[in-house]
Amino acid sequence: MNDAHGSMTNILIEELDERASLISGSNKQLLQMEGLDASFDAVFFVGYHAYEGNADGVMNHTIYGGAVTEIKRNGEVVGETAINAGIAGAYGVPVALVVGDDVLCREAQHFLGNIETVAVKEAIDRFAAKLLTPKRSQKLIKEAAQRALARLDEMKLHRIAGPIEFEITTKLTSMAHMCTLFPTVERRGPKVVAVRSDCYLEAYRQLLGCLIISGATARGWL
């Protein structure tokens, strides 16, 4: 299990099943996918969000909301669900379950097909939603997880063939400017940069590097 939202210290390890292990804390080269390798049978995305600009998704953002307005992968707008599913696909691991609001569930099915999804809230606005109770949500998630594991042979890999290009629209021009410290980054406009590689994991690491330096730029550290 990888705790990878906000401070990345949200999950109480004392409440986990004793068979579980937990990755907690920040500074991870694969961020939300840290710890994944080819030995896994499937991954579950729990508590994910729709990408920034996707309808009125609750807390819609793309990986790092303070730095990113939009990310395109090979020309298509994507969010953390599709981006991270590509990492899983690179390791030969399918995404079997996605949990979030109704906007996120539709987004996941668009990119990943007939996987299991659970909408634990209905989006009203970025800051408002119609919620299920925790007990009801837990029941639905447990049932969906059981169905997902029973259907693994139906789950398709989200494998993206190279070359892979991520185009990033940053919040500020200074962010795009400082991203060009990396020699592999192409600046395409005042707020737009792009990275590319034949390897999905390498392209992702370049993307993450741009987000990290953008965040530092926003705080005036550089």
Residues designated catalytic: 61
Burial class (CB in 10 A: 0-12, 13-18, 19+), 149: middle
Question: Nearest CA to 194 among 213, 216, 176?
Answer: 176
